[in-house]
Amino acid sequence: MNTSSYPMMPFTRLGQFAIARLRRMGRYALFFLQSFVRIFSWPLPVARILQQTYFIGMKSVSIICLTAVFTGMVLGLQGYYTLVKFGSEGVLGAAVALSLIREMGPVLTAIMLIGRAGSAMAAELGIMRISEQIDALETMDIDPLRFLVSPKLGAALISMPLLTAIFDVVGIIGGYLTGVLLLGINSGIYFARIQSSVEMADVTGGFVKSLVFAVVIVTVCCFKGFNTHEGSEYGAKGVSVSTTSAVVIASVLVLVTDYILTSLLL
């Protein structure tokens, strides 16, 4: 770089930074699109999607239920003490159900899934990368994206809405535990308020979120693991770095997209 451009340096830096970011985002997008398209390539990878659904979905049910019941209970407790000041504790059901279905359900399910399945995906792919298993797939003319990433993406797209639905329902039961059993709200009113307040748009909005989160989680975690060799560290250290950054980036990205989606859906 010649000296005459020196005053422009900050802008050059900014430009370089922006281009690098944009390029990276483009790679993420391509990674997702290619994996998504390959879900439907013939022959359909049904067996592997099934296996991944077992791992991502079935094995997460217990942790999701546990999280959901306590989330619901806390919402019931907090909601009650806030609402009772206005003498409107009767709408507790509505408060719990709406916050679960619109926000807490999709977001917390996504966060739990990152911790349980996302980290595993990043680590698995990272190890496969450093032990040359991904290269081996390529030499066998097996598309690594189709073989490794697409089933995870497909399974996550199936599992996330279902897990979110389970989270919502269990959370509502959790709210029932505190609101009705502990604090003595009429159980009929609790459910009637839920029914009258929840609209179809809330439910579909929640599912749209959960689908988008599924995409975010799988794309980020698999991308990080898949490209472990491009990181600054090598070997086992490289896997740990890519797993950590996958979890962090995915979590942050889930919250950011949640805000964007909420503002679009409302």
Among 169, 183, 189, 215, contact with other proteins (rule: CB under 8 A): 169
End-to-end alpha carbon distance in the chain: 49
Among 163, 216, 221, 253, contact with other proteins (rule: CB under 8 A): 163
Residues 211-240 that bind other proteins (CB under 8 A): none
| 266 part of the interface to other proteins, by CB under 8 A | no
Least Å from the CB of residue 24 to other proteins:
19
Least Å from the CB of residue 22 to other proteins:
23
| 203 part of the interface to other proteins, by CB under 8 A | yes
| 58 part of the interface to other proteins, by CB under 8 A | yes
Please report, to the nearest 10 degrees, the dihedral formed by the alpha carbons of residues 166, 215, 223, 134 taken in order.
80
CA distances, 221 to each of 31, 162, 166, 212 (Å): 11, 20, 23, 14
- At a CB cut-off of 8 Å and minimum separation 6, what does 233 contact? 240, 241
Among 5, 22, 26, 132, contact with other proteins (rule: CB under 8 A): 132
Q: Which two tokens stand for residue 63?
A: 């942790």
Least Å from the CB of residue 123 to other proteins:
12
Sign of CA dihedral 149, 152, 157, 163: negative
State phi, psi for 197 to the nearest 5 degrees.
-95, -30
Among 82, 135, 187, 255, contact with other proteins (rule: CB under 8 A): 135
Least Å from the CB of residue 238 to other proteins:
15
**Residue given tokens 């609402």 in the structure block:** 83
Closer Cβ to other proteins, 113 or 198, answer by number = 198
> Rounded to an integer, what distance in angstroms lies between the CA atom of residue 204 and that of residue 199?
9
| 97 part of the interface to other proteins, by CB under 8 A | yes
State phi, psi for 175 to the nearest 5 degrees.
-60, -35
Closer Cβ to other proteins, 74 or 203, answer by number = 203
CA distances, 260 to each of 189, 209, 229, 255 (Å): 34, 10, 32, 9
Residues 171-200 that bind other proteins (CB under 8 A): 194-195, 198-200
CA distances, 168 to each of 164, 165, 202, 237, 254 (Å): 6, 5, 12, 38, 18
Least Å from the CB of residue 7 to other proteins:
29
> How many residues of this chain bind other proteins (CB under 8 A)?
43
| 51 part of the interface to other proteins, by CB under 8 A | yes
* Binding footprint of other proteins on the chain (CB under 8 A): 43, 47, 50-51, 53-54, 57-58, 61, 97, 101, 124, 128, 131-133, 135-136, 138-142, 147, 158-159, 161-163, 165-166, 168-169, 194-195, 198-200, 202-204, 206-207
